[in-house]
Structure 1
Amino acid sequence: MALEAFTPSKALTLGVELELQLVNTHDYDLAPYAENMLRLMRAHKLPGSVVPEMTSSMIEISTGICQDAGQVLDELSTIRDALVRSADKLNIAVAGGGTHPFQVWHEQRIYDRPRFRELSALYGYLTKQFTIFGQHVHIGCPDADAALLMLHRMSRYIPHFIALSASSPYVQGQDTQFDSARLNSVAAFPLAGRAPFHLDWADFEKFFAKMARTGVVGDMKDFYWDIRPKPSFGTIEIRVFDTPLTIERAAALAGYVQALGAWFLAEQPFMPDEDDYLVYSTNRFHACRFGLDGNYVDPGSGDHMPLRDHILLTLHRIGRHAQGPGGEAALHLLRASVAEGMNDAHWLRRCQQQEQLLAETTRQATRLFRGAR
């Protein structure tokens, strides 16, 4: 099977997908209401889409093609408001967060869709343990080679994306001591991790053809890479973000990706190299484990520094490349939270320390998602 052709798209356009939790309003455990929510959401005219996910306590929302973070926020706000109204009718609630704090994986139900049934047959219990929630950010690329160059440049900033979005400290009722425990579940899949180092699309096509001949993959969806090309969209898709607790932070993360991309195009700050990946796994682990308090090894210089400092330095470098007022607001939101040492994992832990009950922490997360302060 040949790799589908890369469809060019406008450089730096954005698309955002969010996987969201459906919880009951009795004890705030996950609730298998995806089918009911999808039925109610069909009555709303939306700028993007709402679709099922692997298990029936999850749904995925997505924007259309957006020009900047401001448009991402507008579209997510419209979808969020419709979700909240629909959830209220069902007496359930919607929450962000990369994991549900206390759900029990074996109680989850696989959503009845052919691909999900196939994955369940292949991966067994891992499929139900994949009841985790991520944000995917697509960024437009004008051609296939540009997409690979953008992919490998973005790979240096994977620790940034993880630490800024981290919102999964709790799993099965326990504090994992990770800011982003969600990515440990992703790592269990055999085709997870980093993309192979190719900067020429013809070489990437040869790689894909070899993989296809093994029968292991049929299309790009079979790769669970941290970043992967999406040829039919003309994008690269960054997949390491936990779903944030608010749509404002989700839009800000998309604005950060866009500003980074604009910086790459305008200034060509570095050329990626295979040796960049010598420190990739270590940087990724530190971001998952410690979040903003982790360490970062610069792949180019070899310098070691606190990850928080590297993020702040990068925000300073790319500030003038923010796209529009929405992009500037996105960087400001992230800069303020990093300076304070706060991400959503810290918020959840602080809330749990105060409440001493994960159900109440989850309830407050649902209020945060719907826009309550």
Structure 2
Amino acid sequence: MSVLRGAACQTLLVTQEFTESARSTVGLEWEIMLADPDSGDLVGRAPELLDALEDESAPERHTVTGELLTNTIEVTSGIGDSVAHAIGDIAAAIAAVRATTDPAGIELLSAGSHPFAQWFDQQVTDKGRYHRLIERTQWWGRNMMIWGIHVHIGVEDRDKVMPIIGALTAYLPHLQALASSSPYWAGERTGYASNRALVFQQLPTAGLPWTLQSWSEYERYLDDMVRTGVMADATEVRWDIRPAPRWGTIEVRACDGLSTLTELSSIAAVTQVLVEHFSHQLDAGETLAIMPPWFHRENKWRAARYGMDARLIVDAVGTQRLVRDHVAEMLTDLAPVAVDLGCSTEFAATKKIIDSGASYERQIRVAEASGGDLREVVQHLIREFRSGPGSPVI
């Protein structure tokens, strides 16, 4: 007892401010692969492109930056007052990137993993934080050939942040299933819809969030991690869903790279609607429902393994539902929230993923139709990124 009292009374060395943010605003980040148009293999040419792209994006709402590997660029939106606003930024960023990559003979694609590229052929971007990450994580770090999207939703009151994260964690497997796009890894079919989900959680401080009830508990966690040398600051919290104190947002990081802009808009809309729904409940004085952490862990694995065919545990008593059915119900039940937020079109378009298949399903169909030729899968992803699902080559 005395030890517990001493720990509870210990003065925190680390406290964390939460920036003021307008409620339910939207910010997006999209990691994009650079590929050879003929072979489909990755090309580490980001350094030769980024100086010009970063300068050109400086006066714009969007940004274009580098990432861990030189085969990747990241585009980000400004703070959008709607999903459409943020998506417009991303579309402008992609257009700017293409103005540089098309003349250079570089194609763009997005998925949670590249179907056949090998980790040992890739180069790490020459920045200290990336070299420190690789030095610490070794083989797992060098194998981080993964691409994702991050969705930021503004929260106007930091006391809402941890309760909303606790409730939203129950919907991470739904988002993960909808966005699953990494069925292949280093030339092999993994048997998983999202192999990326299981690879990424190997990094320190990655994976599902701890069950924390308040901002003070989050500060205690940060203090413990910094004091013991686990991380330098809050930016090294790599949870699947985390507070982003610098921006005043909740950041969802569980999703594979989306293969098309329309799918990115749908995932952004679902995330925005869920956060706003939980925020409304808190405003009404309700206590948000949470599930045991062992259910969350099982659901993450099921979504990674089975994607849209996963049966998820959806409440604390263990009720199980097929993710396709549960998402369809959510689209009906929360449609009024989408109307209020002005994202009805993007929210309803999520049904197309249910009906036509998530990216991992489309990739598998292409591979099977081509006798297992993963080069055809890459060409399919290139076409989709340029033109949308089912679109012809242009």
The two structures share one fold, judged by TM-score above 0.5: yes
> What percentage of aligned pairs have identical amino acids?
26
> Where does residue 4 of structure 2 map in the other structure?
none
Q: 1:120 to 1:280 in 2, by over 3 A?
A: same
Structure 1 gaps, min length 5: none
1: distance between equivalents of 2:52 and 2:225?
A: 41
1:2, distance to aligned residue in structure 2 (A): 1.6
Q: Deviations over 1:187-229 (max 9, x none)?
A: 2123222222222212221222122111111112222211111
Name the stretch that deviates more: 358-367 or 60-69: 358-367
> Where does residue 262 of structure 1 map in the other structure?
276
1: distance between equivalents of 2:47 and 2:252?
A: 27
Q: How do residues 184-223 of structure 1 correspond to structure 2 at under 5 angstroms?
A: 184-223=198-237
Specify the structure having the higher radius of gyration (Cα).
Answer: 2
Q: 2:149 aligns with which of 123, 135, 138?
A: 135
1:277 partner amino acid: P
Q: 1:221 to 1:325 in 2, by over 3 A?
A: closer
Does the alignment pair 1:300 with 2:312? no
3-state SS of 2:167 partner = helix
> Where does residue 4 of structure 1 map in the other structure?
16
> Where does residue 360 of structure 1 map in the other structure?
376
3-state SS of 2:18 partner = coil
2:363 partner amino acid: L
* 1:28 and 1:359 in contact (8 A); partners too: yes
1:326, distance to aligned residue in structure 2 (A): 5.7
> Where does residue 62 of structure 2 map in the other structure?
48
2: distance between equivalents of 1:66 and 1:202?
A: 29
Q: How do residues 284-299 of structure 1 correspond to structure 2 at under 5 angstroms?
A: 284-299=300-315
Q: Post-superposition, which runs of at least 4 consecutive aligned residues in structure 1 deviate over 6 A? A: none
> Where does residue 342 of structure 1 map in the other structure?
357
1: distance between equivalents of 2:224 and 2:87?
A: 40
Q: Deviations over 1:100-143 (max 9, x none)?
A: 00000111111001101111111112222112100011111112
Structure 2 gaps, min length 5: 1-12
1:112 partner amino acid: D
Q: 1:280 aligns with which of 296, 310, 314?
A: 296
2: distance between equivalents of 1:367 and 1:159?
A: 27
1:23, distance to aligned residue in structure 2 (A): 0.5
1:355, distance to aligned residue in structure 2 (A): 2.5
1:275, distance to aligned residue in structure 2 (A): 4.3
1:272, distance to aligned residue in structure 2 (A): 4.2
1:120 partner amino acid: I
* 1:186 and 1:224 in contact (8 A); partners too: no
Q: 1:276 to 1:135 in 2, by over 3 A?
A: same
Q: Deviations over 1:306-357 (max 9, x none)?
A: 111111111111111115686111122112321x261011111111222332
Does the alignment pair 1:229 with 2:243? yes
* 1:22 and 1:30 in contact (8 A); partners too: yes
Q: Cα RMSD (Å) of the superposition?
A: 1.8
1: distance between equivalents of 2:115 and 2:68?
A: 18
Q: Deviations over 1:251-276 (max 9, x none)?
A: 11111111112222234596346643
1:47 partner amino acid: R
Task: State TM-score, norm by structure 2.
Answer: 0.90
3-state SS of 1:179 partner = coil
Equivalent pairs counted in the alignment come to 372
2: distance between equivalents of 1:185 and 1:278?
A: 19
Name the stretch that deviates more: 16-25 or 181-190: 181-190
3-state SS of 1:16 partner = strand
* 1:296 and 1:306 in contact (8 A); partners too: yes
* 1:68 and 1:323 in contact (8 A); partners too: no
Does the alignment pair 1:58 with 2:69? no
Does the alignment pair 1:351 with 2:363? no
Task: State TM-score, norm by structure 1.
Answer: 0.95
1:278, distance to aligned residue in structure 2 (A): 2.9
